[in-house]
């Protein structure tokens, strides 16, 4: 293995792969292969080899388990259209991917796993009856009837999800529970450093997650409710912290006047106050953007899960 720079575009040029954002795909030794690589992703690298595994899935899983150290795999799985592996690579990524692909494809060829000229769904030759398609973003060819069957299954799954009851009140309770925990985190951080706004991100992300775990559906209401509930609880607990931090006084008005006086006279206090407010809003927004992206992805998952390939997406 050489130490020269060898990036995705170099790998794609050598093997005749097409490039998309953070991914490339094509035919490797006759097998349809898709590589997604994002250094900051989770996982950072996901390699898919398309093949029909019917009757040999357990055998293939055993091979991957036996050789996971040699193949540098942090995770692997045999799915409906082939195998997916996640190599944990840090340097010379695409040089190492070539070595990993050579070993995997060599095993598949030696053990008579069908290549890209065979439908991964039914295991029969494609010949003239072939449709270029994508499943979960992986491009490959299948029989028209197999494509229609996969699309119908995806639509049925979507219909079942759409028909699932939305436990709105339980979802709200889950989001509020996450908000209360995040408020407690804010209070602890504030006691330590007088800066607790990092808890807003915790509240927004965990709020969206618990909303779903408690039975609420992934709707636009979920995104909006989690944003405002997190914001209100964070600002409320910050106000309580400032009140408890203030010197004892005979009335709430005097306490508020004292806080106002510190804001006018103490630069350090004023800077921390502004930073807490700004970062509460910014980090709550960051978590909300993540929740909104999740919402949009779920709304579009039929199109993303199973669809015909555009001319530029096929091999």
All residues at 6 or more sequence positions from 314 whose CB lies less than 8 Å from its CB, including other chains: 132, 139, 141
Strands in the chain per DSSP E: 18-20, 23-28, 31-37, 45-50, 73-79, 82-87, 131-135, 138-142, 306-308
What is the per-residue pLDDT for 312?
66
Indicate the SS3 state at residue 300: coil
What is the per-residue pLDDT for 315?
65
pTM of the model: 0.66
What is the per-residue pLDDT for 179?
94
Whole-angstrom Cα distance, residue 303 to residue 187? 44
From first to last of its 315 residues, the chain has per-residue pLDDT tens of 444 588 999 999 999 999 998 999 999 999 999 999 998 877 899 999 999 999 999 999 999 999 999 999 999 999 889 999 999 998 999 999 999 999 999 999 999 999 999 999 999 999 878 899 999 889 999 999 999 999 888 888 777 766 678 888 999 999 999 999 999 999 999 888 888 889 999 999 999 999 999 988 888 999 999 999 999 999 999 988 888 877 776 677 776 777 777 777 777 778 888 898 999 999 999 999 999 988 877 765 555 577 887 766 666
All residues at 6 or more sequence positions from 275 whose CB lies less than 8 Å from its CB, including other chains: 195, 197
What is the per-residue pLDDT for 45?
94
Residue 251 buriedness (CB in 10 A; 0-12 / 13-18 / 19+): exposed
What is the per-residue pLDDT for 231?
95
Polymer length of the chain: 315
All residues at 6 or more sequence positions from 181 whose CB lies less than 8 Å from its CB, including other chains: 202, 203, 206
């Amino acid at each position: 293995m050489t130490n020269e720079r060898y990036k995705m575009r170099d790998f794609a040029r050598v093997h005749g792969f097409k490039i998309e954002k953070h991914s490339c795909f094509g035919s490797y030794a006759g097998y349809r292969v898709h590589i997604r690589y994002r250094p900051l992703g989770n996982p950072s690298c996901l390699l898919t080899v398309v093949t029909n595994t019917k009757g040999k899935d357990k055998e293939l899983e055993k091979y991957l388990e036996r050789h996971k150290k040699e193949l540098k795999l942090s995770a692997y799985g045999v799915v409906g259209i082939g195998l997916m592996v996640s190599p944990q690579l840090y340097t010379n990524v695409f040089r190492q991917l070539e070595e990993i692909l050579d070993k995997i494809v060599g095993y598949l060829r030696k053990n008579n796993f069908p290549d890209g000229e065979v439908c991964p769904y039914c295991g029969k030759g494609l010949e003239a009856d072939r449709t270029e398609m994508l499943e979960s973003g992986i491009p490959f060819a299948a029989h028209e009837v197999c494509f229609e069957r996969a699309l119908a299954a995806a639509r049925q799954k979507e219909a079942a999800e759409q028909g699932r009851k939305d436990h709105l009140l339980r979802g709200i309770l889950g989001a509020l529970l996450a908000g209360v925990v995040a408020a407690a985190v804010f209070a602890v951080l504030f006691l330590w450093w007088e800066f607790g706004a990092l808890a807003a991100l915790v509240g927004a992300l965990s709020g969206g997650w618990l909303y779903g775990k408690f039975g609420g559906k992934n709707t636009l209401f979920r995104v909006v409710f989690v944003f405002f509930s997190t914001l209100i609880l964070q600002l409320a607990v910050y106000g309580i912290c400032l009140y408890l931090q203030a010197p004892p006084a005979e009335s709430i008005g005097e306490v508020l006047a004292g806080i106002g006086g510190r804001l006018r006279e103490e630069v350090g206090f004023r800077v921390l106050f502004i930073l807490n407010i700004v970062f509460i809003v910014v980090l709550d927004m960051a978590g909300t953007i993540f929740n909104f992206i999740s919402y949009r992805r779920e709304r579009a998952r039929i199109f993303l899960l199973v669809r015909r390939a555009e001319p530029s997406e096929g091999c």
